[in-house]
Structure 1
């Protein structure tokens, strides 16, 4: 009996260790290799009423959940429960590709001047950090990241930008500490 119990405990321990190994491998495989190790605090407060509405993704650090996406947009709206509705959409494989969208919700973190939010696309689990690191005073552009420095988005109110606008936004991201050579411009 003692031998059988030891084997059972040993097998359970191996199963747990193996499961933890698989989880660690998945976490590493899912993490973005690009990183800003010194992500700054958001530069200024966010007026949510002015921030809401449709944004076009000008550029991003590539990530697994947007792989193959072009014509990316994000739509934000206030909900009756005080949260923010998030609808992200794109065209898969090109600007004329199949339409994809995902719906989620966001909540503003306390004491963040509305510049730090937690986002959920999976029920009650708020796991995604959404930091508005910088934005235009007139809310025509926004630079969004998260504290780990793995993700970066540059959002604009217009789908197409002039060369001067593109250069200026990339330079702002560089000044925030991001490796702008890793930016991928989004087609619209």
Structure 2
């Protein structure tokens, strides 16, 4: 599906402090990526900074028959000057030299206190609205959805799992 017409470009935040971004994030809403197709509930992501300036990414979610699904990956900054842009891979270490295994992971909006974040990729295919807790107030969620629409994201397939209504 082509991106929706937009009046605003997809842009990453100017600065992302990886040490403040580290920790647990709950997925409040998502435009699902392929690897999330079997998730039956809210996903949780753990980010752990590494000494080499990469970040270990551990995603998990409930799957069919109550079994937890889990994926372990790594994120990196592709450009030192574009601090809100990351790339993520869940490929084995021996394949990480291939550019095709890295996916764009741009932080598009971020609370000053790092309580919530909106993450997407520049082609507008995937989007995640994240919170430090399992839910996010409806006013904040609605504002983030409006910002995503303004950037051209089509939210008709958005899956919400943690909005307070």
Instruction: Give me the TM-score of the superposition, normalised by structure 2.
Output: 0.81
Aligned counterpart in structure 2 of residue 86 of structure 1, from 57, 72, 88: 57
Q: Any conservation in 1 of the 2:59–2:71 contact (CA below 8 Å)?
A: yes
1:17-166 to structure 2, matched below 5 A, reads: 33=1, 35=3, 39-69=9-39, 70-93=41-64, 97-122=66-91, 123=93, 124=96, 125=98, 126-166=101-141
Residue 181 of structure 1 is matched in structure 2 by 156
Give the Cα–Cα distance (whole angstroms) in 2 for the partners of residues 41 and 73 of structure 1.
24
Secondary structure of the structure 2 residue equivalent to 1:76: strand
Residue 170 of structure 1 is matched in structure 2 by 145
- Report which structure shows greater RCO (CA 8 Å, sep ≥6): 2
TM-fit CA distance, 1:141: 1.1
Q: Any conservation in 1 of the 2:25–2:130 contact (CA below 8 Å)?
A: yes
Q: Deviations over 1:74-105 (max 9, x none)?
A: 11111133311010110014xx8211111011
TM-fit CA distance, 1:128: 1.0
Give the Cα–Cα distance (whole angstroms) in 1 for the partners of residues 5 and 66 of structure 2.
35
Q: Which runs of 4+ in 1 moved over 4 A?
A: 36-39
Higher helix share: 1
**Which consecutive unaligned segments of at least 5 residues does structure 1 have?**
1-32
Q: Which has the larger radius of gyration?
A: 1
The alpha-carbon distance between structure 1 residues 79 and 109, as it changes in their structure 2 partners (threshold 3 A), is: same
Q: Any conservation in 2 of the 1:58–1:159 contact (CA below 8 Å)?
A: yes
The alpha-carbon distance between structure 1 residues 67 and 34, as it changes in their structure 2 partners (threshold 3 A), is: farther
**Which consecutive unaligned segments of at least 5 residues does structure 2 have?**
none
Question: Superposition RMSD on alpha carbons, in Å?
Answer: 2.3
Aligned residues: 154
TM-fit CA distance, 1:34: 6.5
Task: Name the stretch that deviates more: 120-129 or 37-46.
Answer: 37-46
Give the Cα–Cα distance (whole angstroms) in 2 for the partners of residues 118 and 52 of structure 1.
15
